[in-house]
Structure 1
Amino acid sequence: MTKEEELQEIIKKSEKIRIFGTKQSSADIASGTATLIDITTYNKILSFDDAAHTVTMQSGVILKDLLEAIEAKGWCIPCLPDINTITIGGALATGTHGTSGKLLCEYMTTCSMVLADGSLKRITEKDALIDAARVSLGVLGVMSEITLKCEPLYTLHVKEGPQDDSEWLPNIKERLKKHDFLRILWLPHTDKGYVITGDKIDANKEVIENLGPAYLKHRRAASKMLYKYSHIFPWTTAIANKLLYRGFFSSTKEHKGSLYQATVTKSRGSTIELAEWTIGLDKFPAVFEELKTEINKWSNKSFIHIPMDVRFIQKDNSWLSYAYKEDTVTMGCVSRNAATADTYEAFKSIEKVFLKHGGKPHWGKRFAAKDATLTKIYSKWEDFKVLRKEMDPTNKFLNPYLSELLNEKIMK
């Protein structure tokens, strides 16, 4: 499939349909229907508007290809996710984000969406519908062609290094004001965080590069070995984390590059099992301390693999955004043993603590909350459900996972 007309025809003729891309999501959001479409062949970059700094593409374009194309134009998207292997359509639908900026979907200015009957609906920034369409979970229709707003390319001077929790936690707001980029890799059971800051500089400014010891590239292999039996003996995680901190997070680094070059992971291939929760910026310190206390109890089996990724999102108006009407902090929780992720107690503990304070789950990652809980934490949840029924009255875009999430029965 390479043309919009083909996509329309497939959707029109299908009774139940979901779209999948590079399978990076650890949620079952893109599975379980009679018709599954691999969108990765629908991957053309269609046009550039030099005056408006916009790029239009098909929704199956891989982020890596898009970013390389706009960098060649001297442009960038100012807030990028951690990986470059995701499709643009999937990234938008699930609220994918980076740090120190807005969700990726907030840079969408227009899109065309194929509706359940195969017709095409064009949505622009002037349409009220765009606030629902930006993070749609793929249940309003299928994103077809997308236009994103870009900015002139810039260079970041990036500095990285460890800090005690007592140092980095109280200084978050100050650092957000001071730096153009801020990310913290928290190291559970060590009382340490690994702080990454970036500041815009002239591209010609000389920076003495320090990428740390050569053995840092073996962190994933070391993690795999140290966590091999942590699902059987969870307490060994605390020991492993201390060893990993000393070996891989205790040195400092310094370098420069574009946002894409300097901050985006380019070597991840398979799906990683993880959960991610967000909370208002003002609430985060108290939530962090509560979570830290909870997981450090030896009676609790929620020993968490490192790192927990702490990032920051600016408020927006998208209905199902994690940052709807407030600046937020996101905190990721990863299981390095993908095969035993279903019994990884840490996922339960982080959800319990964040939900207690009104936290929100990432749509493309693991969580157990369903409709009754989501309606309490997303103020536009019920409005979104009403809109979904209007746009997809036969539930064509629902699968079992989404049906349960939305408390909707799938018609057979």
Structure 2
Amino acid sequence: MKKEEKGIWVSWNENIQHEYDNLYKITTEKELQKVISESKKIRFFGNKQSSADIIAGVQSLVDIRDYNKIISYNDTEHLITVQSGIRLVDFIESIEAKGWCIPCLPDINTITLGGALATGTHGTSGLILASYVQKLRFVLADGTIKEVTEEDELMHALRLSIGVLGVFSEITFRCKENYTLHIKEEPQKDEVWMYNLKEKVQQYDFLRILWMPHTGKGYVITGDKIPEDTIIEENNGPSYLKYRRDVSKTLYKYTHIFPWFTAIANKTIALLFFNNKKEHKGSLYQATVTKSRGATLELAEWTIGIDLFPQVFKELKKEINKWDNNTFIHIPMDIRFIRKDKTWLSYAYDQDTVTVGCISRNSKTADSYEAFKTIERIFIKYGGRPHWGKRFKAKDKQLDKIYPKWNDFKTLRKELDPTNKFLNGYLKKIFNEK
């Protein structure tokens, strides 16, 4: 175990910074137990890619990125057990080599698995990633080990815990047989992709809409399962599409000063980069997961029951298209779909949901980005739920109204962590703790 003293923890976008007294880089479970048991206040981190202030801000920090081994496979039951610091890319590539998959993957592959589970990371057209966990081994606040399986009621709380119930040590996933998707992409007017949306969610094996605010269009990505040897005439679009991020960065550079220019930038970007039809095939991982991303984005994401989504979308669209306010939103707003589950703090607890992501490409000025405030106000009004690893302002009283198991979770948290060892300043406000 390596230890550093007195330093400053900095997030991936450099907009969250905290001093710390001790930083531990652990490689074994015993080291993890020792550090937790001997610390008064402690948090843990992987690749620092959360937009929420949930990771640092306490005396002791644990860097779990070197705690990243594959422990075992069970070929008969399609189980894999790994240490919690493994990166998603290494985890997915290892199960694909076995001919397995997780049927709902997030947009990026650079996050650590433990962090992904703790914040409810998800993809589209399936369950949240944590729903595929079969067994958890985790370290409690006193340093002892507890194991929970998918049959235990406690698993419904642990699967998404924001790291306040304990620290994941070893994680066992129940995987599925891998499959091939035929992916089609094309722009559609809002009235087209919104028509019979609930039926489309059931129709496609993969459905994602990159909505383009201020343009009246969405870029629709669908996927159907096909035999692996099916021949597809691939069309990856013109070669200049690879410059989208650079062009976006340039066009959005001064939109914090001139918010109205966002509408013009969006129309330009949509015309250049979201105006082509594309077609290809591959596994879910190969065909849909981004393999790289620079530290340029700040994100908020809200979910809403699928039956309420048309009403919320109509109000959101009306609000952001007013020219008498500063709510102009950068392209794209990522619209995805999650199936209902029983995880207490899941966005999809007891309801099929639509998730709507909101990005600011000016990370340094994201605190004054009016869109984050507007999207939260509208979604809260309809009982929407925030993504735990992204930006939101809601606290205990509001969260109690939108998460049915909120008070049960708070009670359990106090039982497992009576001294609030795992709470930083940000989390204290969320749970209304001193």
TM-score where L is the length of structure 1? 0.99
Q: 1:52 aligns with which of 62, 69, 77?
A: 77
SS in 2 for 1:113: strand
Q: Distance in 1 between matches of 2:395 and 2:265?
A: 34
Q: 2:204 aligns with which of 154, 174, 179?
A: 179
Shift of 1:270: 2.2
1:74 aligns with 2:99: yes
Identify the residue that residue 20 of structure 1 maps to in structure 2.
45
1:165 aligns with 2:194: no
SS in 1 for 2:143: coil
Identify the residue that residue 86 of structure 1 maps to in structure 2.
111
Identify the residue that residue 189 of structure 1 maps to in structure 2.
214
Shift of 1:131: 0.3
SS in 2 for 1:291: helix
Identify the residue that residue 399 of structure 1 maps to in structure 2.
424
Cα deviation code 1:367-406 (max 9, x no counterpart): 0000010001001101100000000001100000100110
Cα deviation code 1:239-259 (max 9, x no counterpart): 000000100001010000000
Shift of 1:171: 2.7
Identify the residue that residue 18 of structure 2 maps to in structure 1.
none
In the alignment, residue 311 of structure 1 is paired with which amino acid? R
8 Å contact from structure 2 (residues 297, 362) kept in 1: no
8 Å contact from structure 2 (residues 103, 284) kept in 1: yes
8 Å contact from structure 2 (residues 299, 357) kept in 1: yes
SS in 2 for 1:170: coil
Q: Distance in 1 between matches of 2:197 and 2:93?
A: 31
Provide closer, same or farther for how the CA distance between residues 271 and 378 of structure 1 changes in structure 2, counting only shifts above 3 A.
Answer: farther
Q: Distance in 2 between matches of 1:177 and 1:329?
A: 13
TM-score where L is the length of structure 2? 0.94
8 Å contact from structure 1 (residues 184, 310) kept in 2: yes
Identify the residue that residue 33 of structure 1 maps to in structure 2.
58
Q: Distance in 2 between matches of 1:389 and 1:174?
A: 42
Cα deviation code 1:10-43 (max 9, x no counterpart): 1111110001000110001001011011110100
Identify the residue that residue 210 of structure 1 maps to in structure 2.
235
1:141 aligns with 2:166: yes
Cα deviation code 1:177-229 (max 9, x no counterpart): 21100000000000000000000001100000100000000000000011111
Map 1:301-340 → 2, pairs under 5 A: 301-340=326-365
Show structure 1 runs of 5+ residues with no match: none
8 Å contact from structure 2 (residues 214, 263) kept in 1: yes
Q: Distance in 2 between matches of 1:335 and 1:328?
A: 23
In the alignment, residue 82 of structure 1 is paired with which amino acid? D
Provide closer, same or farther for how the CA distance between residues 101 and 153 of structure 1 changes in structure 2, counting only shifts above 3 A.
Answer: same
SS in 1 for 2:171: strand
Shift of 1:271: 6.1
1:369 aligns with 2:399: no
Q: Distance in 2 between matches of 1:45 and 1:17?
A: 25
Identify the residue that residue 149 of structure 2 maps to in structure 1.
124
Q: Distance in 1 between matches of 2:214 and 2:294?
A: 28
Identify the residue that residue 156 of structure 1 maps to in structure 2.
181
Q: Distance in 2 between matches of 1:35 and 1:245?
A: 45
Identify the residue that residue 302 of structure 2 maps to in structure 1.
277
In the alignment, residue 238 of structure 2 is paired with which amino acid? P
Shift of 1:150: 0.5
Q: Distance in 2 between matches of 1:178 and 1:373?
A: 35
8 Å contact from structure 1 (residues 24, 271) kept in 2: no
Identity of aligned residues (%): 66
8 Å contact from structure 1 (residues 23, 271) kept in 2: no
Identify the residue that residue 378 of structure 2 maps to in structure 1.
353
8 Å contact from structure 1 (residues 115, 142) kept in 2: yes
The aligned length equals 409
Identify the residue that residue 111 of structure 1 maps to in structure 2.
136
Identify the residue that residue 385 of structure 1 maps to in structure 2.
410
8 Å contact from structure 2 (residues 82, 171) kept in 1: yes
Map 1:196-275 → 2, pairs under 5 A: 196-270=221-295, 272-275=297-300
In the alignment, residue 339 of structure 1 is paired with which amino acid? K
SS in 1 for 2:330: coil
In the alignment, residue 133 of structure 1 is paired with which amino acid? L
1:287 aligns with 2:294: no
Query: CA RMSD of the aligned region, Å?
Result: 0.7
Q: Distance in 2 between matches of 1:331 and 1:170?
A: 17
1:96 aligns with 2:121: yes
8 Å contact from structure 2 (residues 110, 292) kept in 1: no
